Amino acid sequence: MTSLSNSNSPLARREALESRLEQLTRMIEIRSVEERIQKLFGEGHIRGSTHLANGQEAVSVGIARSIDPDDIVTCTYRGHGHALALGVTTVGVLGEICGRTVGCAGGLGGSMHLVEPAVGLLPTAAIIGAGLPIACGAGLAARTRGKDRIAVSIFGDGSSNIGAFHEALNFAAILKLPVVFVCENNLYGEYSRIDLTTAVEDIALRATSYNMPGVMVDGQDVDAVAAAMETAVARARRGEGPSLLEMKTYRYSGHSRSDPATYRRPGELDQWLKRDPIDILARKLVEEKLLAADGLEPLKAEVRDAVERAAQEVLASPHPDLGEIMSHVSAASADGDRRFAFWQ
């Protein structure tokens, strides 16, 4: 792995994505972290549930390499890959999931509430579609303050069937907000296949209703993701309004840690494994002479070792004190003062 990838600075990790080899390295890191999370569950180090996105790494890295660190990103509870791609450290992600003080939110948020203001990541949301209107607010705030920033809202195909999706797209379109809506269409909303829940096969078609571009993208190809993102981001920065990008992708795991995904169609997973995003980028880098023909497996081993070291650092760190339950909790009084609530 590159030295920047190992950095404890989220900004340095983000800058490292300018390197093609680092993009591959980060995708492998995301996959390795997700695999280690499964093991940490089995070892009894994680409470609650968690939701993996192995197979969707190209979407995370393609988005991250296409936006600036001060742009705002909202995403769902399936957000480990996005956090790592944007620059959150491996220790920060694993620490938060394990509820340790080294986590990116001090171990207080857990798997579904990752955050890193330094690289624009707002707290990930456990509520389906919650990030859609929040991204609109971030885009409106940026324009009101005269900032050259855009907001990116990342959500699943299931979210496209709820009111917040339609309200957010309509609101953003009416005000021409600098927002890029990114749908990760992995074919399943929780345990239900999209053809059983959604009247259209392509979510991008819904953009027509809100007079914005709707683009279908190969979500397994990081370069395709980045190209579509760059076009939509440039449009947003020019003040031309929002876009809807539909990333055609697939999660190799079930909905959550206890889901064996037996509802999949026979052979479906095998077909998607043939278009693994890591393999697709690795082949390109071999052609570009940036990776040796036999360089992928050694790189994977190097990344796995780094992830294991991070996991051991996390497990050696403490849990938050019980008193932390009241930290970061405040309320505004009638006179505008902010004071701690509940215990005063």
Is position 1 within any domain? no
Coil, strand or helix at 216: strand
Q: Which residues contact 288 (CB under 8 A, 6 or more apart)?
A: 20
pLDDT of residue 334: 62
80: enclosing H helix or E strand: helix 80-86
Is position 5 within any domain? no
Q: Give me the residues paired with residue 338 across strands.
A: 332
Q: Encode burial over 28-44: b for 16+ CB neighbours within 10 A, e otherwise.
A: bbbbbbbebbeebbeee
Is position 37 within any domain? yes
DSSP 121: B
The range of the structural domain enclosing residue 27 comes to: 10-340
Is position 68 within any domain? yes
pTM: 0.92
pLDDT tens sequence for the chain (344 residues): 444 445 679 999 999 999 999 999 999 999 999 999 989 988 889 888 888 899 999 999 999 999 999 999 999 999 999 999 999 999 999 999 999 999 999 999 999 999 999 999 999 998 989 999 999 999 999 999 999 999 999 999 989 999 999 999 999 999 999 999 999 998 887 878 888 888 998 999 999 999 999 999 999 999 999 999 999 999 999 999 999 999 999 999 877 777 778 888 899 889 999 999 999 999 999 999 999 999 999 999 999 999 999 999 999 999 999 888 777 777 666 666 554 443 33
Work out the number of other CB atoms within 10 angstroms of the CB of residue 73. Answer: 28
Q: How far apart are CA 322 and CA 342, in angstroms?
A: 15
Is position 2 within any domain? no
pLDDT of residue 20: 98
pLDDT of residue 41: 87
Residue with tokens 């999209």: 194
Give the number of domains in the chain: 1
Work out the number of other CB atoms within 10 angstroms of the CB of residue 327. Answer: 12
pLDDT of residue 325: 78
Q: How far apart are CA 40 and CA 313, in angstroms?
A: 13
301 contacts 310 by C-beta, under 8 angstroms: no
Is position 133 within any domain? yes
- Cβ burial of 297 (10 Å; 0-12, 13-18, 19+) is exposed
Is position 225 within any domain? yes
pLDDT of residue 332: 63
Q: What is the CATH number of the domain that holds 144?
A: 3.40.50.970
pLDDT of residue 190: 81
CA angle 200–131–12, rounded 5-degree value: 115
Is position 301 within any domain? yes
